Chain A
Amino acid sequence: DTEVTQTPKHLVMGMTNKKSLKCEQHMGHRAMYWYKQKAKKPPELMFVYSYEKLSINESVPSRFSPECPNSSLLNLHLHALQPEDSALYLCASSQAGTYYNEQFFGPGTRLTVL
């Protein structure tokens, strides 16, 4: 299995809602990532998990809360988001512990905040 899956594909939420994005991979990768991508812009790194521990947090607001419950799953909990948080949220995974490793991306969750 060489896929990274993400659910849901689309999500519409109000500013007072709490929702979660989910990501799963079964490639045995121990590094997982969250990116945010605005339209016509490149992906921007948000968080990196390595061996289920948060290793990089790129100064992301606390209304985004990542969680890595096990080596195959990565969640992004959303609370009190703003309309400017509307974007495509991409999950990726790669081998950990070795520097030169490609990241495999999922199809993303298209988030709209009303």
Chain B
Amino acid sequence: GESVGLHLPTLSVQEGDNSIINCAYSNSASDYFIWYKQESGKGPQFIIDIRSNMDKRQGQRVTVLLNKTVKHLSLQIAATQPGDSAVYFCAENYGGSQGNLIFGKGTKLSVKP
């Protein structure tokens, strides 16, 4: 299930199950969104991106859904594996300026074997 800790929401899933990580973004003018995965001691790693003219995009084992009406983004991971354990951040690009990425709070995904 999902819980909100002192600083970082945590999602705990069983290996092999599907995971859904949610993100509410702040700016209705944002038109480009990226999901990053950050493992302990490492920098963020690109997973998948989506432009605002799309509502769904699929990658390998991952799907991103965008709902602009409610400013909501989700990342679905199919058949979650222990190697998926990490902190996941959504990031939005707004303001017409390249590189002006604003990161969401992050969700810690823990996969139980």
Contacts and interface: CB of A to CB of B under 8 A. Distances in A.
Interface of A: 4, 31, 33, 40-45, 48, 50, 55-56, 90, 92, 94, 96-108
A31 B42 contact: no
B45 to A, nearest CB: 7
Interface residues of B, number: 25
A56 to B, nearest CB: 7
B99 A31 contact: yes
Interface string B54-72: 0000000000000000000
A42 B32 contact: no
Interface of B: 7-8, 32, 34, 36, 41-46, 49, 51, 89, 93, 97-106
A21 B27 CA distance: 32
Interface centre among B7, B41, B43, B44 (most CB of A within 10 A): B43
A18 to B, nearest CB: 25
B32 A45 contact: no
Contacts of A105: 36, 43-45
Contacts of A42: 89, 103-106
Which 8 A/B pairs are nearest by Cβ-Cβ distance?
Answer: A42-B103, A105-B43, A40-B7, A48-B99, A102-B46, A105-B44, A40-B8, A107-B43
Nearest to A96: B98
Contacts of B106: 40-42
Contacts of B51: 100
A45 B98 contact: no
Contact of A56 (B36, B45, B97): B97
Contact of A104 (B46, B99, B101, B104): B46
B44 A31 contact: no
B44 A50 contact: no
Question: Which one of B98, B102, B103, B106 has the highest number of Cβ atoms from chain A below 10 Å of its Cβ?
Answer: B98
B57 to A, nearest CB: 12
A102 B34 contact: yes
Contact of A108 (B43, B45, B98): B43
Contacts of B104: 42
